[in-house]
């Protein structure tokens, strides 16, 4: 049980790094897309305000699916596999 706990801690640390990396990559790509969209449409107003508002909505929308894909699915799969291998 102690070995499983150590494995889980290491995996959670690695998954946290993956989450941060994925979040940063999504943020950069979306920001680049929004800047291109702003220039393509030639909107009037404050570009920084537009970017801030759009990125805030984007990150809020992607937070739960990203947590699910990066944390919940792998940890659940790992737990099920360990249980099946050891106790089935």
The pTM of the full predicted model, rounded to 2 decimals, is 0.78
**Helix/strand/coil (H, E, C) string of 14-59?**
HHHHHHHHHHHHHHHHHHHHHHHHHHHHCCCCCHHHHHHHHHHHHH
Q: Which of 72, 82, 80, 83 is nearest to 15 (CA)?
A: 72
Q: 3-class SS at 8?
A: helix
pLDDT, tens digit (0-9, with 9 covering 90-100), for 47-63:
889 899 999 999 899 99
18-77 pLDDT, tens digit per residue, is 999 999 999 999 999 999 988 888 777 888 898 999 999 998 999 999 999 999 999 899
């Amino acid at each position: 049980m102690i070995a499983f706990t150590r494995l889980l801690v290491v995996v959670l640390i690695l998954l946290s790094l993956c989450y941060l990396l994925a979040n940063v990559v999504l943020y950069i790509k979306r920001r680049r897309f929004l800047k291109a969209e702003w220039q393509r449409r030639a909107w009037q107003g404050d570009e920084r305000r537009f970017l801030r508002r759009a990125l805030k909505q984007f990150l809020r929308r992607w937070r739960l699916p990203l947590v699910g894909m990066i944390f919940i699915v792998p940890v659940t799969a790992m737990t099920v596999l360990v249980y099946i291998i050891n106790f089935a």
